[in-house]
């Protein structure tokens, strides 16, 4: 289940209802899928063949189509990151820049963990959303954020797009952002 950390105060918010209420206020969509539906051998696999990616998409086909029909997503795919990913450190460096997109950024975590760092309302400031398998999040369009991995450096997620071009990252220069 997702957990929130507010960077300015180090306050943590946990429990599905609390997390959902906080994210609702920040206009961040949060839902949950049953990650246990995934065959056991895929729950801990982070280096995937095309066949395995298709198997994950097929497992969550109903959830994907439900989300897509409610929110207008047209295409979806699987992203897998781990130490087996070539140039993972370079990739993470590129990810860890605050940016925006012209469409929302949707991720449904099917294995592993990850963090979205999001710029909240002025009273909250930046907050982390720590995600694990089953967590589904959508960062709204034009909302400054970035994504990174957690200590285990392993994640598999479904990405959904309205148009693939909408997902181009636009750097967001923010002197108030402090790392860590």
**Closest distance to Fe ion from the beta carbon of 68 (Å):** 19
Q: How many residues at the interface with Fe ion, by CB under 5 A?
A: 1
Q: Does 103 contact Fe ion by CB under 5 A? A: no
For residue 40, give the H/E element and its range. helix 40-43
Return the number of the residue (105 or 135) whose C-beta is nearest Fe ion. Answer: 105
**Closest distance to Fe ion from the beta carbon of 139 (Å):** 7
Return the number of the residue (38 or 109) whose C-beta is nearest Fe ion. Answer: 109
105 is in an annotated binding site: yes
Residue in this structure with the two tokens 């960062």, named with its chain if needed: 139
32 is in an annotated binding site: no
For residue 50, give the H/E element and its range. helix 50-59
Q: Which tokens belong to 137? A: 């999040």
CA angle centred on 124, ends 123 and 130, rounded to 5°: 170
Q: Does 105 contact Fe ion by CB under 5 A? A: yes
101 is in an annotated binding site: yes
**Closest distance to Fe ion from the beta carbon of 29 (Å):** 14
Q: Does 104 contact Fe ion by CB under 5 A? A: no
The C-alpha atoms of residue 144 and residue 129 are separated, in whole angstroms, by: 14
Distances (CA, A) of 90 to 75, 85, 120, 155, 162: 27, 10, 27, 16, 27
Q: Which residues bind Fe ion (CB under 5 A)?
A: 105
Binding-site residues from annotation: 99, 101, 105, 145
């Amino acid at each position: 289940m997702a957990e929130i950390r507010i960077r300015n105060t180090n306050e943590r918010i946990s429990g599905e209802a609390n997390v959902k209420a906080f994210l609702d206020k920040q206009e961040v969509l949060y839902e949950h899928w049953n990650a246990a539906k995934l065959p056991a051998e895929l729950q801990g696999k982070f280096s995937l063949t095309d066949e395995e990616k298709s198997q994950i998409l097929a497992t969550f086909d109903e959830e994907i189509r439900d989300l897509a029909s409610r929110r207008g997503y047209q295409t979806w795919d699987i992203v897998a990151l781990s130490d087996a990913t070539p140039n993972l450190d370079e990739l993470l460096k590129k990810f860890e820049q605050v940016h925006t997109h012209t469409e929302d950024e949707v991720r449904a975590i099917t294995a592993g963990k990850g963090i979205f760092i999001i710029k909240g309302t002025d009273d909250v400031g930046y907050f982390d959303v720590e995600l694990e398998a089953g967590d589904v999040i959508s960062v709204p369009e034009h909302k400054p954020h970035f994504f990174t991995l957690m200590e285990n450096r392993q994640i598999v997620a479904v990405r959904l797009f309205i148009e693939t071009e909408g997902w181009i990252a636009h750097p967001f220069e923010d002197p108030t952002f402090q790392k860590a």
